[in-house]
Amino acid sequence: MHLSAREPKNIRAYDNVVLALGKICQLHGESIDSAQVIPAWLNCLPIKAELKEPKFVHELLCSMVERSDRELLGPNYQNLPKVVSVFAEVLCSRKDLATEETVNRMIIGLMYLQQTLPPNTMESAWSYILPQQEMELKSLLSPEKVA
């Protein structure tokens, strides 16, 4: 949260802290105030600077979505727009921010959310991303691409 956290001299430490915090949320969620920590962690995403950390962090996010983590999605799905936004940045980025497996899991996760959440909840989440990202994501989720 510090103003200089993402400066070039600090970015490696920042990425490592975000990864460590994600692992704490995943492995020790019952020992922390998840309702506060997970949204704070989510607001640090996506990370983009280092080579390995983004892949691990975005994989953690994917795992939380797959298990429909209540703290991640928030009450009344209030964190869903941020989750969709992170997925959009990772999937639409021209950088290598996730492994191919994680990219596929993100696409499947978005499809699952689309199929299981009320349509207005998902539409609201789409409205938080750029129109170009929405078009790219919806193209990735089209039946022709998935089949």
The per-residue pLDDT for range 54-96, each reduced to its tens digit, is: 999 999 999 999 998 888 999 999 999 999 999 999 999 878 8
- Per domain, the residue ranges of the chain are 11-146
For the entire predicted model, the pTM comes to 0.89
Q: What pLDDT is attached to residue 100? A: 93
Structure tokens at 117: 């959440």
- If 0-12 CB within 10 Å is exposed, 13-18 middle and 19+ buried, where does residue 30 land? exposed
Say if residues 55 and 98 touch (Cβ distance below 8 Å). Answer: yes
* pLDDT score, position 73: 92
pLDDT (0 to 100) of residue 62: 95
Cα–Cα distance for residue pair 12/37, rounded to 1 Å: 21
Q: Report residue 20 CA to chain centroid gap.
A: 16
Residue 145: which pLDDT band, with cuts at 50, 70 and 90? low
Give phi and psi for 41, each to the nearest 5.
Answer: -65, -45
Residue 30: per-residue pLDDT:
83
Q: Quote the pLDDT of residue 27.
A: 85
